[in-house]
Amino acid sequence: MYTATSFKPRRCILQKLGTTPYEAAWEIQRSLVKQRLDDPSLEDTLLLLEHPPVYTLGTGSSTKFIKFDPKQSEIPVYRTERGGEVTYHCPGQLVGYPILNLRYYQQDLHWYLRQLEEVIIQVLKHYQLTGERIPGLTGVWVNNCKVAAIGIKVKRWVTMHGFSINVCPELQGFQNIIPCGIEDKPVGSLQQFTPGISLEEIEAKVIEIFSKVFEIELI
Q: Which residues are catalytic?
A: 180
Cα–Cα distance, 17 to 197 (Å, whole number): 20
Q: Does residue 136 have a known ligand-binding role?
A: no
Q: Does residue 150 have a known ligand-binding role?
A: yes
Q: Does residue 196 have a known ligand-binding role?
A: no
Q: Does residue 31 have a known ligand-binding role?
A: no
Cα–Cα distance, 111 to 214 (Å, whole number): 11
Q: Does residue 87 have a known ligand-binding role?
A: yes
Q: Does residue 132 have a known ligand-binding role?
A: no
- For the beta carbon of residue 59, count every other beta carbon within 10 angstroms: 12
Q: Does residue 164 have a known ligand-binding role?
A: yes
Q: Does residue 86 have a known ligand-binding role?
A: yes
Q: Does residue 201 have a known ligand-binding role?
A: no
**Residues annotated as binding site for substrate?**
82-89, 149-151, 162-164
Pick out the residues of the known binding site: 82-89, 149-151, 162-164
